[in-house]
């Protein structure tokens, strides 16, 4: 068989598909994976356990900052308007928890100083890097391959209208833990905003795309489309239209147009 010279041609892709269908690799494997959402309490606990296990074995000198500790720190300091973001914030909407390096929490600008002071008092050894949209707390005892300290807490600030709306109207309180988490619509739109941002690097967009698809496919029937479109319109003026196309593509297994 002579393959077409252009790997992007439909003929080349069809030949690859036929070749791979003739083999049993991966056949039936995905069907045995967990398929429903794992739940917030379990998801956060499992994700934190995975990170802790890694640090205990490979980074014993590091500070093992846990999501519950950060949330309790803010509560104890009287920070009233906050929401757990990042993987810990939406892991309960996924089927399979995974480890993550840092804890992300978002507060309004009005509570930035109070939150910074509380975190600094609780973990005084952390280094602070203050940017316009986030305050990063880095662990000097845990460094990357270039000896740069790794962020373990990101104090996010609402850089866009959709994040202001999340803090105002799209926070849910988990009945089991009392933790403040993004609604499923807020979690999905946050991934959408990350995917379409020109400032986001490609490999992170790949992870965003995976999590976007996973949340959509597991929660499509319970999504409030009006809320979803309203939040997406706050990302950019065409977001309310594009988010519906992204939903359809996620459900159909088609590529997202990034």
Q: Report the distance separating Cα 34 and Cα 218, nearest Å.
A: 11
pLDDT of residue 236: 98
Question: Are 194 and 144 within one domain?
Answer: no
Question: Are 130 and 91 within one domain?
Answer: yes
pLDDT of residue 177: 82
Is 99 a member of any domain? yes
Question: Are 139 and 193 within one domain?
Answer: no
Task: Please name the residues in contact with 6: beta carbons below 8 A apart, sequence gap of 6 or more.
Answer: 12
Question: Are 150 and 221 within one domain?
Answer: no
Q: Which domain holds residue 192?
A: 183-258
Q: How many domains does the chain have?
A: 2
Is 177 a member of any domain? no
Question: Are 51 and 123 within one domain?
Answer: yes
- Reduced to 3 states (helix: H, G, I; strand: E, B; else coil), residue 117 is helix
pLDDT profile of the chain (258 residues), mean per 10: 88 93 91 91 96 95 96 96 98 97 98 98 98 97 93 98 98 90 99 97 97 97 98 98 98 94
Task: Please name the residues in contact with 251: beta carbons below 8 A apart, sequence gap of 6 or more.
Answer: 216, 217, 220
Domain end residue (candidates: 158, 191, 210): 158
Is 237 a member of any domain? yes
* pTM (whole model) above 0.75: yes
Here the CATH number for the domain that contains residue 120 is: 3.30.460
Helices assigned H by DSSP within the chain: 10-21, 40-58, 67-76, 86-90, 112-122, 161-169, 184-196, 202-219, 225-235, 239-252
Question: Are 121 and 188 within one domain?
Answer: no
Question: Are 194 and 243 within one domain?
Answer: yes
pLDDT of residue 245: 98
Is 210 a member of any domain? yes
């Amino acid at each position: 068989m002579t393959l077409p010279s252009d790997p992007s041609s439909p003929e080349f892709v069809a030949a690859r598909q036929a070749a791979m269908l003739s083999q049993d690799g991966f056949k039936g494997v995905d069907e045995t994976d967990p398929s429903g959402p794992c739940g917030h309490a379990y998801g956060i606990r499992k994700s934190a356990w995975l990170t802790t296990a890694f640090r205990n074995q490979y980074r014993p000198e590091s500070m093992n900052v846990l999501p519950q500790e950060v949330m309790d720190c803010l509560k104890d300091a009287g920070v009233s308007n906050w929401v757990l973001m990042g993987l810990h914030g939406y892991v309960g909407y996924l089927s399979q928890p995974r480890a993550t390096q840092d804890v992300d929490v978002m507060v309004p600008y009005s509570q930035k100083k109070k939150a910074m002071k509380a975190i600094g008092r609780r973990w005084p050894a952390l280094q602070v890097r203050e940017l316009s949209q986030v305050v990063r707390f880095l662990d000097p005892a845990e460094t990357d391959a270039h000896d740069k300290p790794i962020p373990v807490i990101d104090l996010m600030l609402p850089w866009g209208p959709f994040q202001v709306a999340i803090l105002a109207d799209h926070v849910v309180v988990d009945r089991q833990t009392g933790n403040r988490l993004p609604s499923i619509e807020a979690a999905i739109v946050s991934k959408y905003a990350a995917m379409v941002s020109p400032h986001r690097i490609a490999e992170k967009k790949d992870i965003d795309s995976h999590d976007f698809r996973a949340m959509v496919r597991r929660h499509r029937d319970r999504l409030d489309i009006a809320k979803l479109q309203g939040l997406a319109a706050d990302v950019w003026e065409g977001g309310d239209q594009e988010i519906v196309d992204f939903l359809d593509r996620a459900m159909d297994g088609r590529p997202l147009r990034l």
